[in-house]
A and B are shown apart, each in its own frame.
Chain A
Amino acid sequence: DGGITQSPKYLFRKEGQNVTLSCEQNLNHDAMYWYRQDPGQGLRLIYYSQIVNDFQKGDIAEGYSVSREKKESFPLTVTSAQKNPTAFYLCASSNQRELNEQYFGPGTRLTVT
Chain B
Amino acid sequence: KNEVEQSPQNLTAQEGEFITINCSYSVGISALHWLQQHPGGGIVSLFMLSSGKKKHGRLIATINIQEKHSSLHITASHPRDSAVYICAVTSNFGNEKLTFGTGTRLTIIP
Binary per-residue interface labels of chain A (83-95) against chain B in the complex, 1 for a CB within 8 Å, 0 otherwise: 0000010101000
Determine if B11 is an interface residue (Cβ-Cβ < 8 Å). Answer: no
How far, in whole Å, are A22 and B97 apart by their CA atoms in the complex?
A: 22
- From A13-21, A64-72, A74-82, A103-111, give the one contacting chain B: A103-111
B96 touches A106 (CB 8 A): no
How many of B's residues come within 8 Å of A, CB to CB?
Answer: 24
How far, in whole Å, are A36 and B4 apart by their CA atoms in the complex?
A: 17
B101 touches A104 (CB 8 A): no
B97 touches A45 (CB 8 A): yes
- Shortest Cβ distance from B84 into A: residue: A37
A42 touches B2 (CB 8 A): yes
Known: A100-B31, A100-B90. A45 touches B42 (CB 8 A): no
Contacts of B7 in A (CB 8 A): none
B41 touches A107 (CB 8 A): yes
B41 touches A42 (CB 8 A): no
Contacts of B40 in A (CB 8 A): 106-107
How far, in whole Å, are A105 and B98 apart by their CA atoms in the complex?
A: 16
For window 13-62 of B, CB contacts with A under 8 Å fall at: 30-31, 33, 35, 40-45, 48
B48 touches A101 (CB 8 A): yes
A48 touches B86 (CB 8 A): no
Known: A42-B2, A42-B4. A103 touches B102 (CB 8 A): no
A106 touches B45 (CB 8 A): no
User: Of B31, B41, B45, B97, which contacts A88 at CB under 8 A?
Assistant: B41
User: Of B31, B45, B90, B102, which contacts A42 at CB under 8 A?
Assistant: B102
26 contacting pairs across A/B (C-beta < 8 A) = A41-B102, A42-B2, A42-B99, A42-B102, A43-B86, A43-B88, A43-B98, A44-B100, A45-B97, A45-B98, A48-B97, A88-B41, A90-B41, A92-B43, A100-B30, A100-B33, A100-B48, A100-B90, A100-B96, A101-B45, A101-B48, A104-B35, A104-B44, A105-B42, A106-B40, A106-B41
